[in-house]
Amino acid sequence: MVLSLHGLEGDLRKDDTTQKTTQKTTQKTREVILAALEKSPDLTNKELADICGISIDGIKYQIKQMRSLGLIRRVGPDKGGHWEVIK
């Protein structure tokens, strides 16, 4: 059996670049969400999605991640409550 590694190095670099781009995009999205919530804590997921230019599911994912990291918390009920950015 002959194992060829031709082109494998390029694939590894491509995966590394993709991962770095994803991390940068995620960080920028989080920064936009945090800034928007600081300015208007009563924004909905739909409004955040429009501001960020991503899907509502993308916002839900980001919110879940930011809550688990202790960056934000929800004060009050889903309807009538607001977001608090934790510094």
Report the alpha-carbon distance of residue 85 to residue 38 in Å, rounded. 6
First to last CA, the chain: 57
Task: Locate 46 and state its tokens.
Answer: 């739909």
CA distance 75 to 83: 6
What is the arithmetic mean of pLDDT over 37-59?
96
Q: What percent of the chain is modeled with pLDDT above 90?
A: 66
* Alpha-carbon gap, residue 22 to 36, rounded angstroms: 21
Whole-number pLDDT of residue 11? 62
Mean pLDDT of 21-40: 90
